[in-house]
Amino acid sequence: MASNRKLLVLPGDGIGPECMSEVMRIADWFANYRSVSFDITEELVGGAAIDAHGTPLTDATMQLALDSDAVLFGAVGGPKWEELEFAARPERGLLRLRKEMDLFANLRPALVFDALADASTLKREFVAGLDLMIIRELTGGIYFGEPRGIETLPDGTRRGINTQVYTTPEIERVLRVAFDLAGKRQGRVCSVEKANVMESGELWRETAQEIHDKEFPGIELTHMYADNCAMQLVRQPKQFDVIVTDNLFGDMLSDTAAMLTGSLGMLPSASLGAADATGRRKALYEPVHGSAPDIAGENKANPLATILSYAMMLRYSFDLGDEAELVERAVTGVLDQGLRTADIMADGKEEVSTTDMGAAVVDEMAALAG
Ligand code: IPM
Ligand code: MG
């Protein structure tokens, strides 16, 4: 198989690098036993890039990302860089990647592995079998809206400003991704905003309905206010198939959905751009969890979210569905064997380190592949 697929790996800060090392074992296994290989370039991002280059993302790395077929991202941030001014913080590296690659659709699946149903803070019956997908708009809304800033008023008081803004094309393109994906799942989309208090929410609701009626009449569309959605997610999460929402609501609702699964350490994500003439989308894959500086370097982190992000990459960027499934089945397998990193540890299970978990996934892949 050709090996000219270009993959940019950005491990970042905190537990990012140690989780990424486990992914590289899996990449090696595919290269050795399945002839699935990538031209891998590794670069710095976030605090690591600030320390080395004085910026969370160099222009050269930004260009590499634009030239790659996929970007695999670890995590950024930590106490060391928290005092920096806003525009110089590690997070700006990630936001710049999202914006300049125009990754407007962020797919955040919340899937409950049967072996972990008891790790959720919700009762098993409410979460067992849960499989929902949150699609978060990622390049618009209040994260990027202008005007923004902090200004000093004539009376000496200060005012902080951010702008929530959406245009119809921005709403339409993310809704299309949601309807498309729902068609491959249970066929149900719940569009979430606050049309009761925000004009941008009213436009969102009208536009969602229009795209549905014109282009996807076969998909079920419901609308929900974001506060109600937060409540419904913890009340009856299995009512949802695909949730589509704006950047800020998506940020919050996806953390809530993540916790339903028992651990943030289990959740992958994909951020996709528009399809080009060949159908290829720019894409970045990252775990939903952050850099967890408190446990960084201790070989305690759960590498499964980064490993599952790699599986999403195989599926969505390279059309390697069988390979993605092999990784996912191996993850299910190691959980069924009772292996747990500290974040998902439970009575009667075996606590393992980051590296042991990665090695176990590779062993399980080999066993499953026969
Ligand atoms: C996320 C994170 C980011 C966000 C931060 C790190 C900028 O919380 O990916 O959900 O707010 O989008
Ligand atoms: Mg977040």
> Which ligand 1 atom is the nearest neighbour of the CA of 76?
6
Please state, as a whole number, how many other Cβ atoms lie within 10 Å of the Cβ of residue 348: 6
* pLDDT over threshold 60, residue 2: no
User: Looking at ligand 1, which residue's alpha carbon is closest to its atom 6?
Assistant: 91
Residue with CA closest to ligand 1 atom 2: 251
Residue that has been written with the tokens 């399945």 in this structure: 34
Q: What is the pLDDT of residue 74?
A: 98
What mean pLDDT comes out for the span 191-220?
A: 98
Span from the CA of 251 to the centroid of ligand 1 (angstroms): 7
Q: Which of 94, 144, 249 best tests ligand 1's pocket when mutated (most atoms within 8 Å of CB)?
A: 94
357-367 pLDDT per residue, tens: 999 999 999 99
Closest listed ligand to the CA of 269: 1
What 3 state SS string does 133-169 have?
Answer: EEEEECCCHHHCCCCCEEEECCCCCEEEECCCCCCHH
Q: How confident is the model at residue 4 (pLDDT cuts 50, 70, 90)?
A: confident
Which is the closest atom of ligand 1 to the Cα of 254?
10
- Is the shortest distance between the CB of 251 and ligand 1 below 6 Å? yes
Instruction: Calculate the average pLDDT of the chain.
Output: 95
Q: How far is the CA of 110 from the centre of ligand 2 (A)?
A: 14
Q: Is the pLDDT at 347 greater than 60, yes or no?
A: yes
Confidence of residue 1 (pLDDT cuts 50, 70, 90): very low
Asked whether 138 and 246 are in contact (CB, 8 A), the reply is no
Ramachandran category for residue 149: left, alpha or beta (phi over 0 → left; psi -120 to 50 → alpha)? left
User: What is the C-alpha separation between 341 and 353, in angstroms, rounded?
Assistant: 6
Given the structure tokens 């970042």, which residue do they identify? 12
Q: Which residues pair with 188 in a beta bridge?
A: 220
Distance 82 CA to ligand 1 centre (A): 15
More confident residue, 276 or 190: 190
> What is the bridge-based pairing of β-strands 105-111 and 131-137?
antiparallel
Residue whose CA lies nearest to ligand 1 atom number 7: 91
pLDDT above 90 coverage of the chain, percent: 90
Ligand number nearest to the C-alpha of 288: 1
Q: Which residue has the tokens 């200004």?
A: 151
The pLDDT assigned to 277 comes to: 87
Q: Report pLDDT digits (tens) over 235-245.
A: 999 999 999 99
- pLDDT for 3 equals 54
Q: What is the pLDDT of residue 335?
A: 96
**Nearest-10 crossing angle of helices 354-369, 321-336:** 120
Angle, helices 16-33/304-316, rounded to nearest 10 degrees: 50
Which ligand approaches the C-alpha of residue 136 most closely?
1
What percent of the chain is predicted at pLDDT more than 70?
99
**pLDDT band for position 262 (cuts 50, 70, 90):** confident
Phi, psi of 227 (to 5 degrees): -65, -40
pLDDT of residue 305 exceeding 90: yes
The residue whose CA has the least distance to atom 10 of ligand 1 is 251
Could you read off the pLDDT of 78-103 as tens digits, one per residue? 999 999 998 899 999 999 999 999 99
Q: Rounded to the nearest whole angstrom, what is the distance from the C-alpha of residue 337 to the centroid of ligand 1?
A: 33
Q: Is 91 in the pocket of ligand 1 (CB under 6 A)?
A: yes
The set of residues, in sequence order, having a beta carbon less than 8 Å from that of 339 and lying 6+ positions away, is 349, 350, 352, 356, 357, 360
Of 298, 316, 306, give the one whose Cα is nearest residue 11. Answer: 306
Ligand nearest to the CA of 291: 1
Per the model's pLDDT, the better-predicted residue between 276 and 50 turns out to be: 50
Are residues 65 and 349 in contact, defined by beta-carbon separation less than 8 angstroms? Answer: no
Catalytic positions are 143, 194, 227, 251, 255
Q: Cα(344)–Cα(341) distance, rounded to whole angstroms?
A: 6
Ligand 1 atom index nearest CA of 95 = 7
Task: Return the pLDDT at 214.
Answer: 98
Name the nearest CA neighbour of 176 among 99, 110, 242, 229. 242
Decide: helix, strand or coil at residue 287: strand
CA geometry: angle 135, 136, 142, nearest 5 deg = 165
Q: Tell me the whole-structure pTM to 2 decimals.
A: 0.91
For 15-53, write each residue's pLDDT tens digit. 999 999 999 999 999 999 998 999 999 999 999 999 999
- Which long-range contacts does 40-43 make (Cβ < 8 Å, 24+ apart)? 40/7, 40/8, 40/9, 41/6, 41/7, 41/8, 41/9, 41/68, 42/8, 42/9, 42/10, 42/11, 43/8, 43/9, 43/10
Assess whether pLDDT exceeds 50 at residue 66.
yes
| Nearest protein CA to atom 5 of ligand 1, as residue | 91
Query: Residue 81 is which amino acid?
Result: W
* Region 57-62 average pLDDT: 98
Question: Average of pLDDT values for 122-134?
Answer: 95
Question: Atom 1 of ligand 1 has which residue's CA nearest to it?
Answer: 251
